[in-house]
A and B are shown apart, each in its own frame.
Chain A
């Protein structure tokens, strides 16, 4: 089986959820080596879009083609915090080992090679020293890095991260972006959805703005116009463009524009 380069092309796509149209008129195309942000208010259909790309929801109208995911695990999905069962007592290492699942046979236990892979993925996100910590005790930023390591362990070429920055302070966002940029440089497609791109918008190659329909798509400087922000967030959107964060007061930054 030949594995093609990752790409996603979406043409005038609509997606329904629970009998209602949740997203309509979405058109964009991303190729290998792209770091893309999806921006929209809560309830704008960001998760719906991810679920459609991941094949969990059918396309009601238009077309969606995802290439480069012929192998199970080639697409990694990091869901929102709420859909993870934090009651489950798993260590960082346990979670990353889940990513090796497709490479371990039904009757086999993880091999030395699997363990080595987990080690290198954890080193890459700077969590090897904390590998025995339980995931429910971690900060928001550390949790996201654990899931990035799991995506690396499953050798994903497309990584979708839903609301990756909620509950993550600015310094930790920066750490995550640096890792994601290095994945982008290896030819992976990394897509992050968020309702808040303050100060980090320019770090993305492409930005897709949605609010049930597509508001803009393109490089940040093109997509991020005052008109688009007003369409997304109403009059708050205009304040958003002028918003600056004091780097010494990062805690207060979290959670605005809800």
Chain B
């Protein structure tokens, strides 16, 4: 019996593609909640979702030009964030309205571009392989991650961690008290763009695992669970990362053995953990009353 259970865990790792997928899943499980904690604390979940959908055209161009979507993340993410701010200032529309407009417009542009015969043919000519499948980008295809992408994801993840480490105090100050932060000389808008650029990087790394539609499940749900269970911000990040990694690993194994898509299973595991944490909070509150 015991060797059989061990075999359930060891067997998938005999495949190279599963090893690569596991590394990227763990990366995603850590990175998403760590940056997601800032996103949740700032109430910017919609911005995160919009960014995930809006990078689609950038990913398409990145895949065509370099063979990987990762490279295009930062310029696309920053351009989108600037565009949203620009529309909001110029038209006087509220911030969520301009986010919504850019979200839908860029996502539609990506869908049209990726399914156009011109793109599909050019891709085949340039890269000598089939153009990316839209469904893989939407719900993730972690089993197809290449060795190069694993290294690139690792490098970018280190860059994100370094960025968050350096800017942590500024991010905390501007999240808690943006006006006070500006008065003491912190460039609030610059810090916001740094966060969005790092967020764009994390999103593109994560899209490989969870896909555009479900990346929020890794970015928001584990961090939100952390807010339910931890008292302080660093605790939110740590608990979020533990939940993120657990969701990613459990999701991978379940999807391997049950032969189901990985991204949605990861999302379901993360959601279930949030549900449990919320129930625990409710129960503690009732017993206190």
Which residues of A are interface residues toward B (Cβ below 8 A)?
54-56, 72-73, 75-79, 83-85, 87-91, 94-95, 98, 101-102, 104, 106-107, 134, 150, 154
Contact (Cβ within 8 A) B184 A101? yes
- Bound complex: CA of A95 vs CA of B180, how far in Å? 11
Could you list some 20 contacts between A and B, CB below 8 A?
A73-B185, A75-B183, A76-B180, A76-B183, A79-B179, A83-B177, A84-B177, A85-B42, A88-B175, A88-B176, A89-B41, A90-B172, A90-B176, A90-B232, A90-B233, A98-B176, A101-B170, A101-B186, A106-B166, A154-B184
- Bound complex: CA of A95 vs CA of B177, how far in Å? 10
Contact (Cβ within 8 A) B43 A87? yes
Given contacts A72-B184, A73-B185, A106-B166, contact A89 B175 (CB under 8 A): no
Q: How many Å from the CB of B208 to the closest CB on chain A?
A: 31
| B178 contacts across to A, CB distance below 8 A | 83, 85
Q: How many Å from the CB of B92 to the closest CB on chain A?
A: 10
Contact (Cβ within 8 A) A134 B183? no
* Tally of chain B residues near chain A (CB < 8 A): 26
A-B contact count (CB 8 A): 76
A89-B227, A107-B166 known; 14 new pairs, CB 8 Å cut-off, are: A54-B183, A55-B183, A76-B183, A78-B180, A79-B177, A79-B180, A85-B42, A88-B176, A94-B172, A94-B232, A98-B169, A101-B169, A101-B173, A101-B186
Q: Which residue of chain B is the closest to A151 with respect to CB atoms?
A: B180
| B179 contacts across to A, CB distance below 8 A | 56, 77, 79, 83
Contact (Cβ within 8 A) B183 A85? no
| B183 contacts across to A, CB distance below 8 A | 54-56, 75-77
Contact (Cβ within 8 A) B177 A87? no
Contact (Cβ within 8 A) B173 A88? no
Which residues of B are interface residues toward A (Cβ below 8 A)?
41-43, 166, 169-170, 172-173, 175-180, 182-186, 227, 230-233, 235-236
Q: How many Å from the CB of A163 to the closest CB on chain B?
A: 13
Question: Which 5 pairs show the lowest CB-CB distances between chains A and B?
Answer: A72-B185, A77-B183, A79-B179, A88-B176, A54-B183
- Bound complex: CA of A106 vs CA of B168, how far in Å? 9
Q: Looking at chain A's contact residues, is the secondary structure mostly helix, strand, loop, or mixed? A: loop
Q: How many Å from the CB of A51 to the closest CB on chain B?
A: 8
Q: How many Å from the CB of A67 to the closest CB on chain B?
A: 16
- Bound complex: CA of A90 vs CA of B43, how far in Å? 16
- Bound complex: CA of A56 vs CA of B189, how far in Å? 13
Which residue of the partner chain, among B43, B177, B233, contacts A89 with CB atoms under 8 Å? B233
Given contacts A87-B41, A89-B233, A134-B231, contact A102 B176 (CB under 8 A): no
| A104 contacts across to B, CB distance below 8 A | 169
Contact (Cβ within 8 A) B177 A85? yes
| A102 contacts across to B, CB distance below 8 A | 184-185
Q: How many Å from the CB of B139 to the closest CB on chain A?
A: 31
Contact (Cβ within 8 A) B166 A84? no
| B172 contacts across to A, CB distance below 8 A | 88, 90, 94, 98
| A90 contacts across to B, CB distance below 8 A | 172, 176, 232-233
| B42 contacts across to A, CB distance below 8 A | 85
- Bound complex: CA of A79 vs CA of B170, how far in Å? 18
Contact (Cβ within 8 A) B169 A89? no
- Bound complex: CA of A79 vs CA of B42, how far in Å? 17
Q: Which of B175, B176, B182, B183 gathers most chain A CB within 10 Å?
A: B183
Contact (Cβ within 8 A) B180 A89? no
Q: Which of B178, B179, B233, B236 gathers most chain A CB within 10 Å?
A: B179
Given contacts A94-B232, A101-B169, contact A84 B176 (CB under 8 A): yes
Q: Which residue of chain B is the closest to A90 with respect to CB atoms?
A: B176
Q: How many Å from the CB of A6 to the closest CB on chain B?
A: 15
| B184 contacts across to A, CB distance below 8 A | 72-73, 75-76, 101-102, 154
- Bound complex: CA of A84 vs CA of B181, how far in Å? 11
Contact (Cβ within 8 A) A89 B166? no
Q: How many Å from the CB of B136 to the closest CB on chain A?
A: 36
- Bound complex: CA of A106 vs CA of B177, how far in Å? 19
Contact (Cβ within 8 A) A89 B182? no
Given contacts A54-B183, A87-B41, A89-B231, contact A95 B176 (CB under 8 A): yes
Q: Which of B170, B182, B236 gathers most chain A CB within 10 Å?
A: B182
Contact (Cβ within 8 A) A56 B182? yes
- Bound complex: CA of A98 vs CA of B170, how far in Å? 9
| B185 contacts across to A, CB distance below 8 A | 72-73, 102
| B175 contacts across to A, CB distance below 8 A | 85, 88
